[in-house]
Structure 1
Amino acid sequence: MKKIITLGVLFLFIVSCSTVPITGRKRVNLVSDAQILPASFAQYEGFLKENKISSNVKMTNEIQDVGMNISKAVDKFMRANGMVSEADSYRWEFNLIDDETVNAWCMPGGKVVFYTGILPICDNTDGIAAVMGHEVAHAFAKHGQERMTSAYGQQLGGIAVAIGTNNKDPKTRALWNTVYGVGSTVGMLAYSRTHETEADKLGMVFMIMAGYKPEEAVNVWIRMGQRAGGQAPPEFLSTHPSNESRVKNLRAYLPTAIEQAKKYGVQ
């Protein structure tokens, strides 16, 4: 029986292997959009009801404008590469939360939140685009699904189980809360440094496609480092690479990002 289970799990991992567009990284994903998106959308709505949405119309409009431009770039890329059904599954939404936490996130399916606390780090429209591109890239690359696949493997012996708003299994609900957090930290995945570095690269490509200055992505992380100083990193950096590594990697990747973006045109 153990041998059969082991072979079955191995088969699941083999057939679930895929490649992240642009970076070419191999990944394993046992969680489908049909499984994760209903729960993602429900969690997002619940979060908005429990937190204060900013009354700053100017900044809210800017967040939404940048978000739509970045999402259009992602949509353009997906459709150009035959990812039509995936592009159609996104329900883009961008909200600004009145909270001094230095944070931003994007849940599967394109549900984005910026906190007012991260705006000084963004500093300008291109800075907002850099953070937006990074967060949207997490959803595009399905890092959340990949993280849940890893959690399934650890908690359930690698055997995937269905998740969704109609699933009443307490283990599944606990798993969702573990991966996505609860309350004020909902959506903040424990991404690996590999995921973070990949999101930096993808985000830079998308912000270029959307017509923003990619050099500002470097400046964002310089400002983030200045804010952190020698203190413990803010929540937004809790699982991220060091600022020094991030700045170095982004500078090195800039020429490649420009070449990638040129393939699809700049808005």
Structure 2
Amino acid sequence: MLKKIVILFITILFTSCVTSPLGRKQLILMPADQVDTMGVEAFKTVKEKTPLETNSQVNHYVTCVANAIIQVSNSTVKSWEIAVFRDESANAFALPGGKIGVNTGLLKVAEDQNQLGTVIGHEVAHVLANHSNERVSQEYAVQQGLELIQAVTNVQTQMGQTVMGLLGVGAQFGILLPYSRVHESEADILGLNLMATAGFDPRASITLWQNMERAGGSEPPEFLSTHPSHNTRINDLENAMNNALSLFQQAQSAGRRPNCQ
């Protein structure tokens, strides 16, 4: 019996180890469709509890930037849903299953389409790199998957709050459960390349993070507080900038020139 358990465990390990877009080994235990379902349910919960922005111009602007990112993401999701929430915190998120949420407060910090593209690119990168699945896999065994999906619909429970945090939307409910520094740094670089490939100027990423720091004063915004230090982030982005500028120039040559207003 013990031998069978050991063999099963080894099989799971070998079949569950995948590689992130940057070549990092990941342990992914949750089926992708289950994590997508969790993302869809989490997004539904956020929409039920957070007012939506009704200004058509604001919605058009955010959707324009998000769609430019999505079009070059090679995502397997056929149709993404984008929502703007009337919330003063400078925050945004993307969820498995093709869901993107942007708070109106972020638009006061991300001053143009290139800076907004930095944030949305970063959040979509979390999804493309399976960071939510990786975090859920690290926390729970596969057999608890159904319970996890059900927990998303009730954020009042401890497990519901934990799952929302693992998916990356805990901040919407005052639950701080940030991605790891490894995930954040990975999403920074992937997001930088993604926004550049979409035709947004990657140099705006430096300005965006400087704006974030200034906006927070002594207490940084939620979005910034869950990320690597300011200097670390800037240094990493600067080191990756030459490649991103090359992608940006290729995008411009290919006619990808977003004009989101």
TM-score by length of 1: 0.81
Match of 1:82 in 2: none
Between the aligned partners of 1:213 and 1:188, the Cα distance in structure 2 is 31
Label 1:133 to 1:167 Cα distance change in 2 as closer, same or farther (>3 A).
closer
SS of 1:163 mapped into structure 2:
helix
Quick one: which amino acid aligns to residue 32 of structure 2?
D
SS of 1:241 mapped into structure 2:
coil
1:125 pairs with one of 94, 106, 113: 113
Label 1:208 to 1:183 Cα distance change in 2 as closer, same or farther (>3 A).
closer
Q: Deviations over 1:11-59 (max 9, x none)?
A: 31221111122x1112111112111112221221222122111122212
User: 1:61-210 residue pairs with structure 2 within 5 A?
Assistant: 61-75=60-74, 87=76, 89-152=77-140, 159-161=141-143, 163-164=145-146, 175=159, 177-181=161-165, 184-185=172-173, 190-210=178-198
SS of 1:112 mapped into structure 2:
strand
Label 1:266 to 1:6 Cα distance change in 2 as closer, same or farther (>3 A).
farther
Question: Identity of aligned pairs, percent?
Answer: 30
Quick one: which amino acid aligns to residue 240 of structure 2?
Y
Work out whether residues 130 and 220 of structure 1, in 8 Å CA contact, stay in contact via their aligned partners in 2: yes
Between the aligned partners of 1:240 and 1:135, the Cα distance in structure 2 is 12
* Root-mean-square deviation (Å): 2.9
Q: Deviations over 1:188-236 (max 9, x none)?
A: 763101100110111111111111100011111111111223x233221
Quick one: which amino acid aligns to residue 63 of structure 1?
V
Total equivalences in the alignment: 247
Quick one: which amino acid aligns to residue 12 of structure 1?
I
SS of 2:143 mapped into structure 1:
coil
Between the aligned partners of 1:179 and 1:147, the Cα distance in structure 2 is 10
Match of 1:216 in 2: 204
Work out whether residues 147 and 179 of structure 1, in 8 Å CA contact, stay in contact via their aligned partners in 2: no
* 1:245 shift after superposition: 0.9
Between the aligned partners of 1:165 and 1:68, the Cα distance in structure 2 is 33
Q: Which runs of 5+ in 2 are unaligned?
A: 257-261
Quick one: which amino acid aligns to residue 177 of structure 1?
Q
Match of 1:155 in 2: none
Quick one: which amino acid aligns to residue 208 of structure 1?
A
Label 1:187 to 1:210 Cα distance change in 2 as closer, same or farther (>3 A).
farther
Match of 1:28 in 2: 27
Match of 1:8 in 2: 8
Between the aligned partners of 2:134 and 2:50, the Cα distance in structure 1 is 27
Higher alpha-carbon deviation: 215-224 or 41-50: 41-50
Quick one: which amino acid aligns to residue 242 of structure 2?
P
* 1:142 shift after superposition: 0.7
Label 1:210 to 1:90 Cα distance change in 2 as closer, same or farther (>3 A).
same
Label 1:137 to 1:13 Cα distance change in 2 as closer, same or farther (>3 A).
same
Between the aligned partners of 1:257 and 1:19, the Cα distance in structure 2 is 22
Between the aligned partners of 1:166 and 1:228, the Cα distance in structure 2 is 34
Match of 2:17 in 1: 17
Between the aligned partners of 1:186 and 1:263, the Cα distance in structure 2 is 41
TM-score by length of 2: 0.83
Between the aligned partners of 1:238 and 1:2, the Cα distance in structure 2 is 45
Quick one: which amino acid aligns to residue 74 of structure 1?
S
Work out whether residues 135 and 203 of structure 1, in 8 Å CA contact, stay in contact via their aligned partners in 2: yes
Label 1:2 to 1:183 Cα distance change in 2 as closer, same or farther (>3 A).
farther
SS of 1:240 mapped into structure 2:
coil
Between the aligned partners of 1:169 and 1:64, the Cα distance in structure 2 is 29
